[in-house]
């Protein structure tokens, strides 16, 4: 039974191949997706982004200039569209104020400072901020989500209700400081949760079974 994080990543990588995340064409699309995916599935986000493109809303300036109801109509498939319109506009204003219409340029800020800046934006919590830092600026910070909590608590490696930053630090200390590893590991976690470690886990399909307290117990 391995508890080595790189070994666990290796098992997932060997099983599913590199996931080539984030599913977005540009850094701005990634940042938009990080807001829209809050409390919803990514399929709704994809539909919302397609509608934003069709409406000419895929730039910070266009979103800030558009009436709220126009933005809300475009992002409706992502759910909570009134709340997310306000959040999207706040993020876009932040990007424009920081000369970062292309959010990849936020990489010029040190990660701790950038994280504090993002957390000051209306509606940007830790998971959203870290998703933007990792996937839009390609800087190393580990993203924690509900899937991460589910898999690694079932494995017996973390407490499911641990504080976000306690979990993030745990992963970052257990892995090399490498954005490429953080990027694909998180994507593998999402894939594993969708394919095997569902609400009701399908452990006999899971490559982590030999490393997992729950999977071993069910053998």
Binding site for ligand SF4 (CB under 6 A): 151, 154-155, 196-197, 201, 203, 206, 208-209, 212, 214-215
Q: How far apart are CA 207 and CA 192, in angstroms?
A: 9
Q: Which residue is nearest to ligand SF4 (CB)?
A: 215
> Shortest distance, CB of residue 203 to ligand SF4, whole angstroms?
3
Complex with ligand SF4: residue 46 or 153, whichever CB lies closer: 153
| Helices marked H in the chain | 5-16, 27-36, 42-54, 60-65, 68-75, 81-97, 111-119, 126-131, 137, 146-154, 164-174, 179-195, 213-218
Nearest to 103 by CA among 114, 89, 112, 116: 114
Q: How many CB atoms lie within 10 A of CB 88?
A: 29
Complex with ligand SF4: residue 24 or 201, whichever CB lies closer: 201
> Shortest distance, CB of residue 184 to ligand SF4, whole angstroms?
17
209-213 contacts: CB < 8 A, separation 24 or more?
210/1, 210/2, 211/1, 211/2, 211/3, 211/7, 211/8, 211/11, 211/155, 212/154, 212/155, 212/156, 213/154, 213/155, 213/156
> Shortest distance, CB of residue 186 to ligand SF4, whole angstroms?
15
Backbone angles phi, psi at 82, to 5 degrees: -70, -45
Complex with ligand SF4: residue 153 or 169, whichever CB lies closer: 153
Q: Are 188 and 19 in contact (CB under 8 A)?
A: yes
What token pair was written down for 44?
């709704």
> Shortest distance, CB of residue 2 to ligand SF4, whole angstroms?
13
Complex with ligand SF4: residue 122 or 205, whichever CB lies closer: 205
Complex with ligand SF4: residue 122 or 194, whichever CB lies closer: 194
Complex with ligand SF4: residue 20 or 200, whichever CB lies closer: 200
> Shortest distance, CB of residue 165 to ligand SF4, whole angstroms?
23
> Shortest distance, CB of residue 54 to ligand SF4, whole angstroms?
38
């Amino acid at each position: 039974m391995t508890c080595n994080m790189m070994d666990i990543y290796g098992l997932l990588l060997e099983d599913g191949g590199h996931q080539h995340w984030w599913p977005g064409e540009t850094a701005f699309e990634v940042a938009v997706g990080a807001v829209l995916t809050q409390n919803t599935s990514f399929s709704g986000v994809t539909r919302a982004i397609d509608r934003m493109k069709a409406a000419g809303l895929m730039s910070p300036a266009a979103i800030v200039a558009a009436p709220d109801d126009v933005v809300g109509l475009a992002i409706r498939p992502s759910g909570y569209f009134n709340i997310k319109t306000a959040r999207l506009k706040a993020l876009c204003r932040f990007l424009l104020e920081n000369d970062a219409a292309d959010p990849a340029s936020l990489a010029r800020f040190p990660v701790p400072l950038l994280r504090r800046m993002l957390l000051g934006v209306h509606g940007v919590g830790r998971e959203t901020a870290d998703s933007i830092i990792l996937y839009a600026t390609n800087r190393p910070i580990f993203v924690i989500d509900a899937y991460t909590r589910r898999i690694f608590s079932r494995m017996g490696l973390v407490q499911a209700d641990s504080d976000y930053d306690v979990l993030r630090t745990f992963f970052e200390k257990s892995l090399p400081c490498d954005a490429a590893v953080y990027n694909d590991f998180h994507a593998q976690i999402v894939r594993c949760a969708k394919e095997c470690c569902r609400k009701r886990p399908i452990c006999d399909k899971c490559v982590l079974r030999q490393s997992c307290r729950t999977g071993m117990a069910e053998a």
